[in-house]
Amino acid sequence: MDFKLIIPVIDTEQGKFEYKGRELTREEYGNMEYEKFRRTNGQMNRFVDNMRNGISNVNTYGNRFREVKDTEHPDIIFKNEEADVVVKDTSWKREITEEELLENVKSGKMFIIVLNIVSNTLSFDAESEIRFWMEDSKKVINDKSLPDNVKMKTLLGRDYGLKSGDKTIWLTNCKMVKQYQWMHAPYCFAVIVEKAVL
């Protein structure tokens, strides 16, 4: 079955970021992102260290992270990029059909699929987005000190679309749980999909 993967990426061609009704330069936007990272990075490191040492401060840290208001963040313009993708079941033996994905939409339950993105159909921005997501997920997956339930909460979720003909199935809060990387398939991984919607 031929699918297109719809990947939301920051629109770097427009090259503009809005904040409180004012357009920011790339430098101003970069400085804002760095300041936000600097404020939260120390908190996150302490949170992870505490979890490793068996100290649970989830509620305390969760409240602190929520204190960073959305109004501090500039509005970023996104666009959807498309790439060819092969969708398989976890056995790798067969491709998933559109009908099976629609069954998952109806069920409303979580499910796992393997996405093998055809690398030469990725734009530069989409490839960067996927590569960074893979690297971030790999760090969490390979951290032996984190229990599985903490790994699942820590993995970064992404929303993607699978387009087939005139239908688009939106995959909500996808979390990469396993990576399969070969020379001929550098962007291949298994994801848990929280929910699929039309």
pLDDT tens per residue, range 63-74: 444 444 444 555
Rounded mean pLDDT, 7-34:
71
Q: Given phi > 0 = left and psi -120 to 50 = alpha, else beta, which region is 70?
A: alpha
Identify the helix (H) or strand (E) that includes residue 105. Answer: helix 98-107
Q: Taking the domains of the chain in order of start, what are their residue ranges? A: 3-11+78-197, 17-75
pLDDT band at 53 (very low <50, low <70, confident <90, very high): low
Looking at every residue in the chain, the average pLDDT score rounds to 80
Share of the chain above pLDDT 70, in %: 72
Return the amino acid letter for 108: G
The residues pairing with 110 across neighbouring beta strands, listed in sequence order, are: none
Residue, of 62 and 163, whose pLDDT is higher? 163
pLDDT band at 35 (very low <50, low <70, confident <90, very high): confident
In terms of DSSP bridges, do strands 185-193 and 17-19 run parallel, antiparallel, or are they unpaired? unpaired
From residue 103, how far is each of 96, 144, 157, 195 by CA, in Å?
Answer: 11, 35, 22, 11
Rounded mean pLDDT, 165-172:
92
